[in-house]
Amino acid sequence: MSRLEAKKPSVCKSEPLTNETVRATLSVLKGVLTSCYGPSGRLKQLHNGLGGYVCTTSQSSALLRNLSVTHPILKILTTSVQNHVSCFSDCGLFTAILCCNLIENVQKIGLTPTTVIKLNKHLLNLCTNYLKSEACGCRIPVDFSSSQILLCLVRSILTSKPACMLTRKEIDHISALILRAFLLTIPENTDDSIILGKSIIVPLKGQRVTDSTVLPGVLIEMSEVQLKRMLPIKKASALKVALFCVSLSGDFADTGEGTVVVSYGMSLENAALDQLLNLGRQLISDHVDLVLCQKVIHPSLKQFLSTHHIIAIDRVGVALMEPLSKVTGTQPIGSIGSVSSSSYGIVKELCSAKFGSKHFFHLIPNEATICSLLLSNRNDTAWDELKLTCQAALHILHLTIKEPWALLGGGCTETHLAAFIRYKARNEPESILTDDGCTQAELQLIAEAFCSALESLAGSLEHDGGEIVTDMKYGHLWSVQGDCPSVVNWPDLLSRCGCGLYSSQEELSWSFLRSTCHPFAPQTCLPHKTVSPTSNLIVDCLTAKLSGLQVAVETANLILDLSYVIEDKN
Amino acid sequence: MSRCVGPGGRQVLCTKPTGEVLLSRDGGRLLGALHLEHPIARIVVACVSSHLKKTGDGAKTFIIFLCHLLRGLHAITEKEKNSWISENIQTHERHWKNCCQWKFISQALLMFQTQILDCIVDRYLSRHFLSIFSSSAKERTLCRSSLELLLEAYFCGRVGRNNHRFISQLMCDYFFKCMTCTSDTEVFELVDDCFIELNVGVTGLPVSDSRIIDGLVLHRDFSVYCPADGDIRMVIVTEIIQPLFSTSGSEFILSSEAQFQTSQFWIMERTKALMKHLDSQNVKLLLSSVKQPDLVIYYARLSGISVVECLSSEEISLIQRIIGISPFVLPQASSWYAISNSALVKFCKPFILRSKRYVHLGLISTCTFIPHCIVLCGPVQGLVEQHENALHGAFKMLRQLFKDFDLNYVKQTSDQNDTSNPLIHKNSRESNQLLKISNHSIQKPHHDIVVKNGDELEKTQAYLKVHSNLVVSNIELETYIPCSATKPTPTNTFQIDDTLKYLSSEKNRIIDDYELLTDNNLTGNSKTENTRVEIPYEYLQVTKISRTKSKLPVRYKSLDLGTPQSYHSSSMPAGSVLPVGGNFEILLHYYLLNYAKTCQQSEEAMVSTLIANALLGIPKILFKTKKVNYSFPQIYLRTLHALQTNQLMVSSQAGLESVIGKYQLLTSVLQCLTKILTIDLIISIKRQPQKIYDQDSEDEL
């Protein structure tokens, strides 16, 4: 029974950002996110009082998914970050923290939202143009002829997720695996357009991390008994495969809207089974060696096939259908009548494999762009984190192949960008203020807020009480160990900058990040010799970071622009 | 509400009980989200939403204007009440008296809206109208820069201020990509009706990634995708292709197992044959509104036919509207004939947006709409929806703008044939004969209206000279058609004595007759029997004609409209616009006050001043945030001064807005106000609303 109830009027609040509680919750959220940021970030354990398992993570995607925020403003922030992460899989925390920083900094200034938004937009354009331009001093080209930068990219992603609980050696192992899995999905002989394949992540929980491996082709999990029954496979040459997407259990498909009258004594089951056996005979005469079915195969048909030495595997599931059809080159068969000979495919080899306690059928293709990545980690939560990280890394590699550039990581891009903006705003304000309405003083204020948002973002990479300094030539980030003596020889204390591109032996001068320093022009145009093969760089994906920057500024603008919140309390 | 109005307005965040977050600056949406309780407020909200449904613009202005009107009314009644207190009337009685008075006012308002408003708009305001069509060519071409200005002004008030320029550029691009040179309002109708199908929302990307895509994007993925080159034909099906055992209402009797097997075999063969047949007809794409069985999919794949299933009925109807084919009907018998209901497709390929797959079709349009899609990106769903709604609203606004709007107002007109180009046409040999009309009311300006016959051969210009004499409330229609020798000159005079008995039927008749005469005139001149009736409406354009107090009208062409333009009778021409920034309101205010001064009846004057003052509330809010130089009193004085000295108005802001939208807004507000004022008691009922069974609906069943 439905209950009618009059709708309650909504609650309308004005100027939500001036509210003290909103500010407090925003800063709490920022605190949570900031403490997770970077390789030395702290982990968060998420309990749900109502049940479910405990999640240990430092990733934005897992964190925000499990975190429930109530205030609409926070909701906007978190959904916008989540949407970004679902598009790019990376730079989620970067986006969220930058957005919080911007909102906080701008509120301190007290300019009208109109000018703030306009200027933020100008500064964002300045940033994106700079990052896309040739002169950009914080991006490096990705060279696909060597695996160096790609490996750096994957390793940077893995190191920035401390909840995976990997040692240095394990990180090296996993990043090599991820890169190999990615390379296996690239087709060998390409025409004009490349269609990348897919890597399927197969869980292997409870094993050592170094047991993880990559195999070409598809793995189908099954019980040991089943496997024993089917093996050994005698055939040495390639196997002929039929892949069915209809049910082979003899059930009756759609009969239409009218009624079907079955006369007494007639057995539809027998009729259906006859049809199935006919199909079986056809398969035998076509010399099929392996029958795969998405749904269920009738036991009689199974029996019939196995007596003729045909391996039948059913209940494959819809998720594996596309990879299977790619690996074997079959067309999924939708008919239980005649089967066209063009729908059959071929597998190079079929063997059994055992990883840990699990048994698999392994379909090895001649050449295909499908591979299986067997991932193992010590416990469930760490495995979940590792799986998310691997997916993110594979996605990032995809994005990098589309746009072969990488940004310097480790906070160097942020400090460099901040130095660049500060210099531009001070020395060439006319180029930023293209249209009317904003004064140069306003620009100075907003540029300072924008830069300090970027710098404090870079600074939040440091969690162990260390100090952050920046050099006055490249604008990179250097971190100093905590409790250092006050007057020291800087080059001795610092070894390499955040991204690892420059060493401290280059006659540089440093200043503290949060101190007021004279704006300088950071050196653009990277020298070409930079990436030596041994150098261990930290790099980020350009596409993801650029979009993260844009989303962060746009979301901050959106939140600053709010003048009312109408809450529907029904 | 006032904080969201205009370019300086800010966003409002709405949350729903389901947890959705919505960003909006759309007045109608905000009003709906507020869930107001007061019955009067609900009437207002209902009025606003019905207004929005029609025009897609002006909800916030609606509320502000209404508010000011009510305040003004209150002030008037307060004043009168004070005088009544001395008469010592009982409270209850006073209430009734109050109501009577309100009703009286509401009648006056209604009268104002139906009679005076149109006349003022037409006679005075239309001089200030600009047009978004550039008239350099014979054809009515749209001026891109003015459309940009118009859209920018529109989006200023609708989307966040950091995005409005980008969105208006996007819309402008979209508009010009979709339009062909022969496109007409039908395009707007199509886009307006099917807007949901014509855009794709993507969350998680920055707004600047939004773009326009050639062709149509269907919100589905291919069930089967077979890449095909060259000539691709497609068919639309709305039923399951595979024959089934029984259809509804029939019975299928299975008597033996062999029969069952043969019938299944027959079904299979039949499906296979059908697919082969489609393939042989070069059909490579099958669009289906239902889910097809596995068998169909399988055979489609074998024949190399791509299949898209489960399309919504809206998508199907949009495709049908664009390419004009009807769904494919399955052949009943075994006779195969050529498939007529197929259409050629330029391309069809999968389209991946943020790891979601869509179908991208390049349709070849048979109507004037060239299919394009908008991909709208934004960090959150709320923002994408806001942009989507704003774009939809903009199309509604344009749809209204591109229509002529007939005003219920007929003037005393006199036609005259004028030959501006005597060399071209011999018929136009009569010299520039100016009709002498004795103008009795000198303070009333002459209104010159120029009709330009858009025929390429003839440059005949007919100056319709209008002389209005409303003070005496007489409307005379005098039509002199001094035509060439072939036609007699009909002279008709209509006289209606009393404006108050101005029935609509009579009005229509007069307008009809008038059009007829014009028609005669034109056909007489051109001797071509084409659709000349349409011409005056097709080529309507506005001239700014200076108001002079002399008897001979001096015309000058407005600066931005180079060639002589035409104007015709009492209809608002399509595409007339005014600069933004409260120009419409200030102008109307000025003319209403002028009118009120000349009014004899007191309540008419009262109503006009009331409305005039309320109108000023809108620009007051718009200029609230501006610097000293642009503050409201400054602008107001400057405009009034310009009006009095017959100068051209200098607009401080770039941007245009639709006059028709404004006009409709005004009438909607007045109607809403009369509705409110006629209510005298609110009876609240605490019972559950009882279901009212509609008797008509039963009859229909």
Q: Cβ A8–B8 below 8 Å, yes or no?
A: no
Task: Assess B621–A contact: CB distance below 8 Å, yes or no.
Answer: no
The distance of B240 to chain A (nearest Cα, Å) reads 10
Count Cβ atoms below 10 Å from residue A455 Cβ, excluding itself: 23
- For residue A534, the model assigns a pLDDT of 53
**Across chain B, what does the average pLDDT equal?**
65
Q: Which range has the worst mean pLDDT, B348-357, B403-412, B524-533? A: B524-533
A to B CB pairs, distance under 8 Å? 220
Question: Between residues A342 and B701, which one has the greater pLDDT?
Answer: A342
The distance of B502 to chain A (nearest Cα, Å) reads 45
State yes or no: cis peptide before A232, omega within 30 of 0. Answer: yes
- For residue B574, the model assigns a pLDDT of 64
Task: Assess B249–A contact: CB distance below 8 Å, yes or no.
Answer: yes
Task: Assess A3–B contact: CB distance below 8 Å, yes or no.
Answer: no
Out of B158-162, B478-482, B512-516, give the one with best mean pLDDT. Answer: B158-162
What string of pLDDT tens digits covers the 570 residues of chain A? 445 566 667 777 777 888 888 899 999 999 999 999 988 889 999 888 888 778 889 899 999 988 888 888 898 899 999 999 999 998 999 999 999 999 999 988 888 888 888 889 889 999 999 999 888 888 888 888 888 889 999 999 999 999 998 999 999 999 999 999 999 998 877 666 777 888 999 988 878 899 899 999 999 988 888 888 776 666 667 889 999 998 898 877 667 777 888 888 788 888 889 889 999 999 999 999 899 999 999 999 999 998 988 889 989 989 899 899 888 888 899 888 878 888 899 888 888 888 888 889 898 888 778 999 999 988 888 999 999 999 999 999 999 988 899 998 888 999 999 989 988 888 888 887 776 678 888 888 999 999 999 999 998 888 888 888 888 888 888 888 766 656 567 777 777 888 888 887 777 777 777 666 667 777 765 655 555 555 678 899 999 999 999 999 999 998 888 888 888 776
Task: Assess A265–B contact: CB distance below 8 Å, yes or no.
Answer: no
- For residue B345, the model assigns a pLDDT of 86
Which chain A residue's Cα is nearest to B265?
A: A337
Task: Report the residue from B3, B33, B383 with minimal CB separation from A563.
Answer: B3
B 16-35 residues with CB < 8 A to A: 16-17, 19, 21, 23, 30, 33-35
Task: Assess A497–B contact: CB distance below 8 Å, yes or no.
Answer: no
Mutate to test the interface with A, among B45, B164, B210, B298 (most CBs of A within 10 A): B298
CB burial readout B242-278, b (16+ within 10 A) else e: bebbbeeeeebebeebeebbeebeebbeebbebbebb
Q: Cβ A266–B268 below 8 Å, yes or no?
A: no
Which chain B residue's Cα is nearest to A5?
A: B688
Out of B334-343, B554-563, B569-578, B591-600, give the one with best mean pLDDT. Answer: B591-600
Q: Torsions phi, psi of A484, nearest 5?
A: -90, 155
Task: Assess A129–B contact: CB distance below 8 Å, yes or no.
Answer: no
Q: Cβ A83–B12 below 8 Å, yes or no?
A: no
Task: Assess B690–A contact: CB distance below 8 Å, yes or no.
Answer: no
Coil/strand/helix, residue A543: helix
Q: And the tokens for A225?
A: 């008994």
The distance of A10 to chain B (nearest Cα, Å) reads 5
Helical (H) or strand (E) element with A382? helix A380-402
pLDDT at B176 over 90: no
Task: Report the residue from B8, B294, B625 with minimal CB separation from A245.
Answer: B294
Which chain A residue's Cα is nearest to B689?
A: A4
Q: Which amino acid is at B305?
A: I
Q: Torsions phi, psi of B352, nearest 5?
A: -110, 125
pLDDT at B429 over 50: no
Q: Determine the length of chain A.
A: 570
Task: Assess B488–A contact: CB distance below 8 Å, yes or no.
Answer: no
Task: Assess B652–A contact: CB distance below 8 Å, yes or no.
Answer: no
Task: Assess A73–B contact: CB distance below 8 Å, yes or no.
Answer: yes
Coil/strand/helix, residue A508: coil
pLDDT tens across B571-605, in order? Answer: 556 666 777 666 777 777 888 788 877 776 777 77
Task: Report the residue from B15, B248, B296 with minimal CB separation from A567.
Answer: B15
B 201-230 residues with CB < 8 A to A: 203-208
Q: Cβ B254–A550 below 8 Å, yes or no?
A: no
Which chain A residue's Cα is nearest to B205?
A: A84
Q: Cβ B23–A263 below 8 Å, yes or no?
A: no
Q: Cβ B293–A75 below 8 Å, yes or no?
A: no
Q: Cβ B302–A567 below 8 Å, yes or no?
A: no
Q: Cβ A271–B4 below 8 Å, yes or no?
A: no
Q: Cβ A566–B13 below 8 Å, yes or no?
A: yes
Mutate to test the interface with B, among A18, A563, A566 (most CBs of B within 10 A): A566
Question: pLDDT confidence of B653, banded at 50, 70, 90?
Answer: low
Task: Assess B330–A contact: CB distance below 8 Å, yes or no.
Answer: no
Question: Between residues A28 and B617, which one has the greater pLDDT?
Answer: A28
CB burial readout B594-609, b (16+ within 10 A) else e: bbbeebeeebbbbbbb
List alpha helices for B86-184, DSSP H: 91-111, 117-123, 144-156, 164-178
Mutate to test the interface with B, among A73, A252, A259 (most CBs of B within 10 A): A259
Mean pLDDT score, B186-207:
84
Task: Assess B172–A contact: CB distance below 8 Å, yes or no.
Answer: no
Q: Cβ A562–B33 below 8 Å, yes or no?
A: no
Q: DSSP labels for B422-462?
A: TTT-SGGGS--PPP----S-TTSPPEEEEEE---SS---EE
CA atoms within 13 A on the CB side of A144: 11
Task: Assess A114–B contact: CB distance below 8 Å, yes or no.
Answer: yes
| Chain A hits for B34, Cβ within 8 Å | 9-10, 12, 566
The distance of B456 to chain A (nearest Cα, Å) reads 44
Question: pLDDT confidence of B455, banded at 50, 70, 90?
Answer: very low
Beta strands A510-512 and B283-288, pairing class = unpaired
- Residues A483, B644: Cα–Cα separation, whole Å: 78
- For residue A176, the model assigns a pLDDT of 94
Task: Assess A339–B contact: CB distance below 8 Å, yes or no.
Answer: no
Q: And the tokens for B126?
A: 């239309």
Q: Determine the length of chain B.
A: 701
Out of A97-101, B241-245, B287-291, B440-444, give the one with best mean pLDDT. Answer: A97-101
| Chain B hits for A72, Cβ within 8 Å | 13, 15, 21
Task: Assess A271–B contact: CB distance below 8 Å, yes or no.
Answer: yes
pLDDT at B560 over 50: no
Within chain B, how many helices (H) and strands (E) appear?
20, 26
pLDDT at B114 over 60: yes
The distance of B44 to chain A (nearest Cα, Å) reads 16
B 393-422 residues with CB < 8 A to A: none
- For residue A301, the model assigns a pLDDT of 92
- Residues A386, A162: Cα–Cα separation, whole Å: 10
| Chain A hits for B625, Cβ within 8 Å | 112, 114
Question: Between residues B556 and A373, which one has the greater pLDDT?
Answer: A373
Task: Assess B299–A contact: CB distance below 8 Å, yes or no.
Answer: yes
Q: And the tokens for A436?
A: 């009317």
The distance of A387 to chain B (nearest Cα, Å) reads 19
Q: Cβ B380–A80 below 8 Å, yes or no?
A: yes
CA atoms within 13 A on the CB side of A145: 1
